[in-house]
Amino acid sequence: MSLCPAALPTVMRRLVSALLPATLLALAPLPAAAQGQSPEDDLPVAEIQAFAEVFERIKRGYVEEVEDAELLRNAMRGMLSELDPHSTYLDSEEFESLRESTQGEFGGVGIEVGMEDGQLTVITPIDDTPASRAGLQSRDKILRIDDTPTDRLSLQEAVNLMRGDPGTEIRLTILRQGESAPLEVTLTREVIRTESVKSELLEASYGYLRVSQFQTRTGAQVGSAIRRLERDGPLKGLVLDLRNNPGGVLQAAVDVADAFLDEGLIVYTEGRLPDSAMRFSAGRETAAAEVPLVILINGGSASAAEIVAGALQDQRRGVVMGTESFGKGSVQQIMPLGNGEGLKLTTALYFTPDGRSIQAQGIEPDVEVIRGRLEVAEGSGLNVREADLEGHLRSPDEQRTRSEMSERLREDYQLGEALNLLKALNVLSQRRGG
């Protein structure tokens, strides 16, 4: 229903009259023609009267007295929670919590959660936090928070329970896919300062860029990280790791994609509000327009991470590797209510440059590589090198031992395959150039 200013007083009168107890109703609804509205714009008076009756019965008959404000807030939460898993009512504390998460600092265990089939579910643990160190995984179901079952909690209520003062403990009961019995994990809360970008050299001239979530300054941090990686010379290849990245700020996703594209569409959105139809394109100033690129994704890559992967895939800018992403293709708008509270409302769907909607579909990798660990066969002759020997002489410019990096690539099979693919792309490029 759309409201025009001229109709607002009439609509409000009808709403107020409908909310009065049925025995006090004296005003009949005005005809649609008298209001200057079409029949489709009419408020559903019968349903509003039913709402008012439920409200009155709870006030009079519930076993404990309930404040009017609490009932109305619960009604607003219910209206939003039934729309989709990401629309929600935000009280003042929740509004502040959302602000903290987008700016990158809060107290808790470092876990992104959502609702899946009515169950509180891990989207991803944030890097280097109590949750990631404890081994929590994407799609773990959280059954209890301390002694509180989660099946009747809203998403925000669950988040509020998990956040708390640094140094305090929290106990999570989780059910993991493939496991028959729940697992109990005790975590100690910390101040979570989320540095969203990390970078390092995997080998000489081959860079690694990890984006753990999309915050306000993530785009600028990616540009700075690329410049650091190129200090010793041009890169032959770069791995952009978006695994277990739950998303975040839309503009930050655009900025990250823009770091690798010098032209073309990145993403566009469509919705019912006039300002929800937006298009974002790449600019000419680009941090790494020519560097061979592999983008790693998995089931924990969601929302803004899928925007970046989808844009780079559609623009043929890099090879997407890993497993299918989460499939959150909706845009939420934060709407302040003027009293320190607000709404987080899904207002649009986003689409990749080729017009693909990712909602409930996800990004399919170009090369599927499941999570695993590389084991070197005994007797292969690849087990021991000079760099593996204790006390070996280090080269002057060696920042870490080869064995440390080799062990990491063995532990992270997807990353190792990404590096191998970058090397293969360089070999093919050199042969074509010759």
Residues 222 and 330 in one domain: yes
Per DSSP, 153 falls in state -
Point out the catalytic residue in the list 314, 325, 344, 412: 314
Q: Is the pLDDT of residue 373 over 90?
A: no
**Between 166 and 375, the higher pLDDT residue:** 166
pLDDT in tens, 268-307: 999 998 888 999 999 988 888 889 999 999 999 999 999 9
Residues 184 and 219 in one domain: no
Among 368, 395, 424, the domain boundary falls at 368
Domain extent, residue 361, equals 197-368
**Between 340 and 268, the higher pLDDT residue:** 268
CB 366 within 8 A of CB 294: no
Is 87 annotated in the active site? no
What integer is the mean pLDDT of 143-172? 91
Judged by average pLDDT, the poorest of 46-60, 168-182, 367-381, 419-433 is 367-381
Residues 251 and 358 in one domain: yes
How high is the pLDDT of residue 334? 84
Residues 189 and 217 in one domain: no
Point out the catalytic residue in the list 87, 303, 325, 330: 303
Task: Tell me how far apart the alpha carbons of residues 282 and 212 are, in angstroms, rounded to a whole number.
Answer: 22
What integer is the mean pLDDT of 7-12? 45
How high is the pLDDT of residue 317? 96
CB 96 within 8 A of CB 217: no
Residues 398 and 353 in one domain: no
Is 314 annotated in the active site? yes
Is 344 annotated in the active site? no
Residues 359 and 237 in one domain: yes
Residues 346 and 429 in one domain: no
SS3 category, 352: coil
Residues 162 and 204 in one domain: no
What integer is the mean pLDDT of 315-344? 91
Q: Burial-class residue 142 by CB neighbours within 10 Å (0-12, 13-18, 19+).
A: buried
Residues 202 and 332 in one domain: yes
Task: Tell me how far apart the alpha carbons of residues 102 and 328 are, in angstroms, rounded to a whole number.
Answer: 18
- Letter for the amino acid at 318? G
How high is the pLDDT of residue 385? 52
How high is the pLDDT of residue 148? 94
Point out the catalytic residue in the list 205, 241, 328, 412: 328
305: left (phi over 0), alpha (psi -120 to 50) or beta: alpha
Q: Is the pLDDT of residue 100 over 70?
A: no
Among 48, 66, 84, the domain boundary falls at 66
Distances (CA, A) of 385 to 317, 389, 396, 400, 410: 36, 7, 18, 15, 15
Q: Is the pLDDT of residue 12 over 90?
A: no
Residues 250 and 396 in one domain: no
362: left (phi over 0), alpha (psi -120 to 50) or beta: left
Among 177, 193, 209, the domain boundary falls at 193
State the total domains in the chain. Answer: 4
Give the domain CATH number at 157.
2.30.42.10
How high is the pLDDT of residue 28? 37
Residue 73 lies in a domain: no
Residues 165 and 237 in one domain: no
> pTM, whole model, 2 decimals?
0.68
Residue 278 lies in a domain: yes
CB 45 within 8 A of CB 14: yes
pLDDT in tens, 179-233: 889 999 999 999 877 678 999 999 999 999 999 989 888 999 999 999 999 998 9
Residues 215 and 361 in one domain: yes
Residue 92 lies in a domain: no
Judged by average pLDDT, the poorest of 17-31, 314-328, 372-386 is 17-31
